[in-house]
A and B are shown apart, each in its own frame.
Chain A
Amino acid sequence: MTVATEQSALNFECETGNYHTFCPISCVAWLYQKIEDSFFLVIGTKTCGYFLQNAMGVMIFAEPRYAMAELEEGDISAQLNDYQELKRLCEQIKRDRNPSVIVWIGTCTTEIIKMDLEGLAPKLEAEIGIPIVVARANGLDYAFTQGEDTVLAAMAHRCPDKAPITDTEKHERNAIQKLLHFGKKKEDVAQEESEYVDHQPLVLFGSLPDPVVTQLTLELKKQGVKVSGWLPAKRFTELPVIEEGYYVAGVNPFLSRTATTLMRRKKCKLIGAPFPIGPDGTRAWVEKICSVLGITPQGLDEREAQIWENLEDYVQLIRGKSVFFMGDNLLEISLARFLVRCGMTVPEIGIPYMDKRYQAAELELLEKTCNEMGVALPKIVEKPDNYNQVQRIYDLKPDLVITGMSHANPLEARGINTKWSVEFTFAQIHGFGNARDILELVTRPLRRNNNLKDLGWDKLVREEAKV
């Protein structure tokens, strides 16, 4: 599964790591919404709290199921007892919200003062009777979306090892099953079972909005592939059964730790596929899953072709244009691969962290796509240096820069089109049906330009003295 990278002609570089990205604790913002009975407690300082409150914008006012355990000077100097303090706060959370799980998010500060969260959690869990999952989603080790990876890797340990004995109970357990069987009689369910090919159980991992979960599940159902469960499920109490020998497949490119945990600790078999982003990616993802499960996929050709046809008006806008990824959320390889297929050129793909094993199939598809489209292979820059990148952007003058918000406005003022990268993390971009949403984002600055083109005010900073 992971052999192709060695001969890869893709050019990998690594810079200084002076780049802008979100702190990985930001994952609480989408995970608390996804896992409805959870409570996320971020154990950190005012800095962490300030980031969350500002980055999450209006969400903070919707009575979020997350909070800061704000460390004070007494906690840092160990004048206060960690265990007692955490117990006090968790009891308060239990009283006010009564969640099914409390997720502790370790931060830079807990790392530095070496607070033993993994050690404290089981003790406290026994005492207060609520599962406590510990994820070290800190800025010392991880970037942005990798936060979700640390949480899901920790959650994987909580997935039941054995399916309950009776069939009905099994169905109760799995949210997807319940969703699909909703309101149906037993014989209907049995009838539905026959729509699936008999294969080894498959569990998918990666947090996606529920509508996208449904879409991807239905997509696989068309091929007779049954999704036995999804990590994470809608509720912590519905985490899927993961037995030894199950197949697992990732839906997002930043889930390497989760993949590793599922393989090494839960003894699962990982299906290394490109990610279902863009119609090409979705097709490759479905095909790869089918091939591993011994199924011949049906009708994918027409399905993909039809999606491309629907995208043509947007593809026309970007064909032949260039896009530069500054890199901050690890979706970059998949997005670049899709955009090359759309006819764009990609001089540089910045990325915070490149797991060549986990992303092997995706890298292979990127290379293949470039060759088929007859465009140069992009340079992949791990841990980029934003200052150097801006200099390269001035030289290359790309038609579009996909970047974080700290660079977007300054680049726009200099006549360079930008798309804010974080939107790709929150928009629905997976599966055949959402390919248009990706292009909706990518083409937005270009469509804006078409609307404003004759106004003559694309450069809005005074000529700077050349340094």
Chain B
Amino acid sequence: MKLAYWMYAGPAHIGTLRVASSFKNVHAIMHAPLGDDYFNVMRSMLSRERDFTPVTASIVDRHVLARGSQEKVVDNITRKDAEEHPDLIVLTPTCTSSILQEDLQNFVERAQIDTKGDVLLADVNHYRVNELQAADRTLHQIVQFYIQKAQKKGELSTEKTVKPSVNIIGVSTLGFHNNHDCTELKKLMNNLGIEVNAVIPEGASVHELKNLPKAWFNLVPYRELGMMTANYLQAEFGTPFIDITPMGVVETARCIRKIQEVINAQGATVNYEELINEQTLYVSQAAWFSRSIDCQNLTGKKAVVFGDSTHAAAMTKILSREMGIHVVWAGTYCKYDAEWFKEQVSEYCDEILITEDHGEIGDAIARVEPAAIFGTQMERHVGKRLNIPCGVIAAPIHVQNFPIGYKPFMGYEGTNQITDLIYNSFTLGMEDHLLEIFGGHDTKEVITKGISAESDLNWTKDGLAELNKIPGFVRGKVKRNTEKFARERGLKDISAEVLYAAKEAVGA
């Protein structure tokens, strides 16, 4: 047992659901008790989905506990198949169903007899993997299933496209700025003269999966999602993959050079150096920024970085290599992938922190007192408490991290966005600091609207106690209204009763 207040990565089924509901026309059925379908709320709220989230639950209740699910799961699968005609239904186990140890595979096989669509059981162990690992596994599982299905039917097209082409693997729903990154990556591929063969899982149909081998190479922009699939496609079809995240000026160039190498090895003759040079110097503002006076002022300032492997590693490199900022420590909650992370950032920070314990991270922030934090929503709140500005760079995230405006983190536009994010975090901190030195804003007192300066009214103790329970930002208004009410009625003492009577009278 572990005492926990906060977790960075969600439970395994969330990962499975993220992958399943990213695909078009794939439905997930959770084998779960009432209330576990919270994923739907998150998807509907955070990413403001217009469509119903294609996830339902086959409810585990007391009866299921007593007699097993029996026909229930099979019925729910066939019912959903008839109602919505999905191409694929993914039966998703939860922590509850893991310990019930029902033979879910058997339900899947029985349901498959009556359904038009395909049915799969997500193969994830709740007590061993987290959201990210489960997502990676589920994507691999679905891709493998449809590749094998096409192989059996002889529909698999392994012949490469005429022009160089790519599969972008790992873009998913509820991923941090994933949809903006995806647009930016497509734009980048277009500039490089590379066709996008497929983007999975977001927006893809499972029928497209049989075309995956046609791409010249696979691009896995996020460390956490897609590596298993890329490895599988390489083992099966020899498709090379690139796992350099094009985030930051240097890494984007490195990614493009790798693409050049990979496609030239397959017979293309491209040279992207000119394009890299042009973009770096004139399209992206990040290189110029690093030269400017603004950035000079940031030299040697202390920062800390925490997030998932992809974003924390990329940010650390950008801060240290591209802006001359002193990264005191960089850390990730992806413990299972710690070796990779260490290798990526070791030369760009003093210290590496691998943990899932937000308390430890909070302490580490308090200890080094950085000028800015780059982390998740949790670190943002730590920053608030310690009065240190924070730029949010990774999940877990809130609704404000699903911006409507175009805000990629990847590619050349991504470098611009990141520059703004970093610079705004630091200047805000500076401004705060200056305000403190000069004694803060001096206008606070003057602004208050004094209405009852010489009050003839007496607030009784209980009245005052009630008044103090009212949130600060409306208290003044309530006080004024109540006093007005009392004056109109010639009351001298204001008790709790009078306060509520006044509230009713003004209908507030």
Q: A residues near B, CB below 8 A?
A: 17-25, 43, 45-47, 49-51, 53-55, 57, 60-61, 64, 67-73, 75-76, 80, 85-86, 88-89, 92-93, 108-109, 111-113, 138-144, 179-180, 182-183, 210-211, 214-215, 218, 306-307, 310-311, 387, 390, 404-410, 413, 432-433, 436, 460-461, 467
Contact = CB atoms under 8 A, between A and B. Distances in A.
B5 A60 contact: yes
Given A210-B469, A467-B85, A112 B3 contact: no
B37 interface: yes
Interface stretch (B57-65, B140-148, B191-199): B57-65
Given A409-B48, A460-B50, A51 B5 contact: no
B95 A45 contact: yes
19 contacts: A20-B37, A23-B33, A23-B34, A45-B11, A54-B42, A140-B60, A180-B462, A211-B470, A218-B496, A218-B500, A405-B44, A406-B41, A407-B44, A409-B44, A409-B45, A409-B49, A410-B44, A410-B50, A432-B504
Interface string B21-40: 00000000000111111101
Nearest to A412: B50
B497 A218 contact: yes
Contacts of B419: none
B456 interface: no
A69 B40 contact: no
Contacts of B469: 210-211
Interface string B466-503: 10011000000000000000000000000011001001
A214 B95 contact: no
B37 A17 contact: no
B461 A17 contact: no
A47 B496 contact: no
Nearest to A314: B507
Nearest to B1: A85
B397 to A, nearest CB: 11
A467 B116 CA distance: 14
B1 A50 contact: no
A211 B466 contact: yes
Interface in B391-406: 396, 398
Nearest to A24: B35
B405 to A, nearest CB: 19
Given A67-B4, A89-B3, A108-B33, A47 B11 contact: yes
B162 interface: no
Given A18-B56, A144-B35, A214-B496, A108 B96 contact: yes
Nearest to B45: A405
Nearest to A89: B3
Interface residues of B, number: 69
B62 A140 contact: yes
Contacts of A93: 3
B286 interface: no
A75 B126 CA distance: 14
Contacts of A21: 34-35
Contacts of A67: 3-5
B123 interface: no
Given A108-B96, A409-B49, A215 B1 contact: no
Given A60-B5, A64-B5, A410 B51 contact: yes
B300 interface: no
Given A67-B4, A433-B504, A461 B126 contact: no
A67 B470 CA distance: 28
B460 to A, nearest CB: 9
Q: Top 6 A-B pairs ranked by shortest CB distance?
A: A23-B35, A139-B33, A406-B40, A413-B50, A85-B1, A46-B11
B10 interface: yes
A140 B33 contact: yes
A70 B1 contact: yes
B127 interface: yes
Contacts of B76: 18
Contacts of B398: 57
Interface in B1-19: 1-7, 10-11, 13-14
Contact of B128 (A73, A112, A215): A73
Interface in B157-187: none
Contacts of B41: 20, 54-55, 404-406
Given A180-B462, A215-B500, 20 more contacts: A23-B35, A43-B1, A47-B36, A47-B94, A50-B10, A50-B38, A54-B38, A89-B3, A92-B3, A112-B65, A138-B33, A142-B34, A218-B497, A310-B507, A404-B41, A406-B40, A407-B44, A407-B52, A433-B500, A433-B504
Contacts of A413: 50-51
B35 A387 contact: no
A51 B462 contact: no
A385 to B, nearest CB: 10
Contacts of A51: 35-36, 38
B508 interface: yes
A149 B400 CA distance: 34
A50 B507 CA distance: 39
A319 B163 CA distance: 64
Contacts of B430: none
Given A49-B4, A387-B56, A409-B45, A20 B40 contact: yes
B7 A50 contact: yes
Interface in B53-100: 53, 56-57, 59-62, 65, 76, 83-85, 94-96, 99-100
Q: Which of A51, A144, A218, A467 has the most CB of B within 10 A?
A: A51
A237 B465 CA distance: 21
A211 B462 CA distance: 11
A45 B95 CA distance: 7
A420 B138 CA distance: 32
B254 interface: no
Contact of A73 (B44, B53, B59, B127): B127
